[in-house]
């Protein structure tokens, strides 16, 4: 596999894991629909989730 395909392969594999609920560490609810997710992926792609998880981590440590 060439280097340019690594990022796509990584995202595909993370999605497969998510679909099976493998290593998912949170659930996102949109209305009555629930999605298993990886916090690291959500935080990497969204400042909104990043700030939520930073705030939760600080509260968990105190």
What is the tens place of the pLDDT at every residue in 3-49?
778 999 999 999 999 999 999 999 999 999 999 999 999 999 999 99
In sequence order, what are the beta bridge partners of 34?
Answer: 29
Matching residue, tokens 């596999």:
1
Q: CA nearest 10: which of 60, 45, 34, 51?
A: 45
pTM metric for this prediction: 0.76
CATH (residue range 3-61): 3.30.710.10
Sequence spans of domains, the chain: 3-61
The HSE-up count of residue 27 (CA atoms within 13 Å, CB side) is 7
Distance separating alpha carbons of residues 61 and 21, to the nearest angstrom: 26
Q: How does the average pLDDT of the chain come out, rounded? A: 90
């Amino acid at each position: 596999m060439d280097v340019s395909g690594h990022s796509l392969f990584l995202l595909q594999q993370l999605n497969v894991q998510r679909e099976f609920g493998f290593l998912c560490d949170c659930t996102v609810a949109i209305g009555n629909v629930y999605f298993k997710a990886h916090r690291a992926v959500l935080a990497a792609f969204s400042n909104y989730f990043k700030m939520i998880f930073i705030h939760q981590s600080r509260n968990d440590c105190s």
